[in-house]
Structure 1
Amino acid sequence: MDVLTVFLLALLWDILFGEPPALVHPVVWFGRIAGFLDGRWARKGPLPDFLAGTLTALLVVAFALVLSLIPSCLPFPLNYALMVYLLKSSFAIRSLHEHVARTVTEDIEEKRKAASMIVSRNTDPLDEAHLNSASVESLAENLNDSVIAPLFYFLLFGLPGALIYRAVNTLDAMLGYRNERYEFFGKFSARLDDVLNFIPARLTVLLYLPFGGRKVLRHCRLARFKLNSDKPIAAMSAVLGVWLEKPGVYRFPGRAPGNEDIRRALRVYWLVVVEWVGVVTVLLLTGVVPCLSP
């Protein structure tokens, strides 16, 4: 019951207050450590860059592990309070909704600006339909990265699992690019993120099944472009019946997405979140998972 209480309090915090200030947000700390080490390393070639990038990733992961163990060193009730805070920092339900909801506008430039805040691609050349697609894709992908996966690893390994996952996901978001600067420096981070997301990405697809049935499975059979990230996007495309496309990378069939489809995607998002929260609550309540106590 103690772990369940921590989870429910963290969930309540997220719904009521959203994200902590950047100054005291552990995920921001992960990014700043990675950015500092990245900026200090002058690229020297494939092998040195790979080793330096691997060391960078391991240092950030080690920091996340140490951070997650601090509550166990504190007296009651500080240990529970800090565990609630750190667990909440590992997932982001409310803020993801808020960021995507800002893209629901008839003003194309406002939409472009809002979309640029949640996707890595250049939004300047995108038309309205592709901007809508980018918003829905980001929602679907981040449903896995920011909700399903961190709580999946919390179930398995407690707070260390949740924070280490978020550290790796942050590393991938910052360093996991296939370009000259990060091809080797970010390779370890990218591959580690692939490994950690393999099961959660497919679990996310299963959570879509009550809302899209066999169509979800048919769309996911088309998701052969990426190891993990295209699976939740394919599932969302199936449920909404709209095409979702990252030009030159993937495209899932359907009609062109509009503003109303972003609203529908947000409703589907909340249905999946409630479904997953219910699963996590039942598993914690019954004690059938090896989640660590504070």
Structure 2
Amino acid sequence: MNFILIFVFALLWDLLFGEPPIKLHPVVWFGKIAGFFDEKWEREGSLLDFLTGALTAVTVISFALILSLLPLYLPFPLNYALAVYLLKSSFAIRSLHEHIARTVTGDVEEKRKAVSMIVSRDVKALDEAHLNSASIESLAENLNDSVIAPLFYFLLFGLSGALVYRAVNTLDAMLGYRNERYEYFGKFSARLDDVLNFIPARLTVLLYLPLGGRRVLSYYRLARFKINSDKPISAMSAVLKVWLEKPGVYRFPGREPTNGDIIRALKVYWLVVAEWLVIVVLPLATGVCPCLSL
């Protein structure tokens, strides 16, 4: 199959129309499978919980892999149409911008409501500056999770790489919490997500270098709080020169973030996305991409 053609049409779909209908979205299907196991399994102790959580992850990943292989068994042009649809479902450029843009408002309560839709932390007690920070942090982290990483694995392993990554990332978002319910049940998914994001998170930091230079590297050295997620956040903080903080977890130095800084962050976002799209297109167009052999 022509991977550059599939990628271009998937990208056009994303930029022009955004996300597919929710009921037909593969990520929603991944979530339903994970949710079924989560709901049905009565926690039985650390070992059994871990094994059942691992089985849950393997089931979702296997489903993603099967989906990715379906285009190989369809005639033209259905094979291309399905491949475009599935690849588009693995990344989200336009919708990420739209979610973050909704947090740009002078009404603190409206901002709080918009931020609560994009972060897992409790936003009830956050002041306006911390709400702005949470919005920018979410943009920086999801730039990696929703754009850089899925296309990185698409380059390496084709459609299977992109969908399997998205499945693992969905599992981590649903199950990867450090609390009584998910400490063991979600551990396999969380650690697998850490492994898959290790290179993309650091690649994302490199993409900020043309925008922030040595300051990006100095902030990267401060990012010692998380394995991956704080790395892109440190880079965004460096470029914007604002503090970004998740209370009790991490804080990067700078001035207080404002509404205007969210707008600036969105501009930075599109510059980094543009850099990455050029990097993705070049190997696809020249035929040196590993995924072309799969």
Letter in 2 for 1:231: K
User: Equivalent residue for 2:146?
Assistant: 146
User: Equivalent residue for 2:163?
Assistant: 163
Matches within 5 A, 1:164-179: 164-179=164-179
2:140 & 2:35 partners in 1: Cα distance? 26
2:280 & 2:103 partners in 1: Cα distance? 30
1:95 & 1:292 partners in 2: Cα distance? 28
1:62 deviates by 0.2
Deviations along 1:237-269, one digit per CA (max 9) or x if unpaired, are 000000000000000000000000000000000
1:283 deviates by 1.3
TM-score by length of structure 1 reads: 0.99
1:277 & 1:195 partners in 2: Cα distance? 23
The 8 Å contact of residues 219 and 235 in structure 1, kept in 2 or not, is answered as yes
2:198 & 2:285 partners in 1: Cα distance? 26
2:133 & 2:292 partners in 1: Cα distance? 39
In the alignment of these two chains, the number of paired residues is 294
User: Per the alignment, in what secondary structure is the counterpart of residue 139 of structure 1?
Assistant: helix
Letter in 1 for 2:208: Y
User: Equivalent residue for 2:98?
Assistant: 98
The 8 Å contact of residues 242 and 254 in structure 1, kept in 2 or not, is answered as yes
- For the pair 1:7 / 2:7, whether they are aligned, the reply is yes
User: Equivalent residue for 1:63?
Assistant: 63
Letter in 1 for 2:3: V
1:112 deviates by 0.1
Letter in 2 for 1:8: V
1:292 deviates by 3.6
2:107 & 2:191 partners in 1: Cα distance? 39
| CA root-mean-square deviation | 0.9
User: Equivalent residue for 2:216?
Assistant: 216
1:293–1:3 Cα change, 3 Å: farther
User: Equivalent residue for 2:42?
Assistant: 42
User: Equivalent residue for 1:271?
Assistant: 271
User: Per the alignment, in what secondary structure is the counterpart of residue 245 of structure 2?
Assistant: strand
1:287 & 1:211 partners in 2: Cα distance? 29
Deviations along 1:270-294, one digit per CA (max 9) or x if unpaired, are 0000110011001111122211468
User: Equivalent residue for 2:116?
Assistant: 116
User: Per the alignment, in what secondary structure is the counterpart of residue 20 of structure 1?
Assistant: coil
1:110 deviates by 0.2
Report % sequence identity: 78
User: Per the alignment, in what secondary structure is the counterpart of residue 75 of structure 2?
Assistant: coil
- For the pair 1:195 / 2:195, whether they are aligned, the reply is yes
The 8 Å contact of residues 90 and 150 in structure 1, kept in 2 or not, is answered as yes
Letter in 2 for 1:76: F
User: Per the alignment, in what secondary structure is the counterpart of residue 291 of structure 1?
Assistant: helix
User: Equivalent residue for 2:252?
Assistant: 252
1:39 & 1:2 partners in 2: Cα distance? 41
Letter in 1 for 2:81: A
User: Equivalent residue for 2:72?
Assistant: 72
Question: Which consecutive residues of structure 2, in runs of 5 or more, have no partner in the other structure?
Answer: none
2:21 & 2:286 partners in 1: Cα distance? 34
- For the pair 1:24 / 2:28, whether they are aligned, the reply is no
1:131 deviates by 0.1
Letter in 1 for 2:217: L
Deviations along 1:203-233, one digit per CA (max 9) or x if unpaired, are 0000000000000000000000000000000
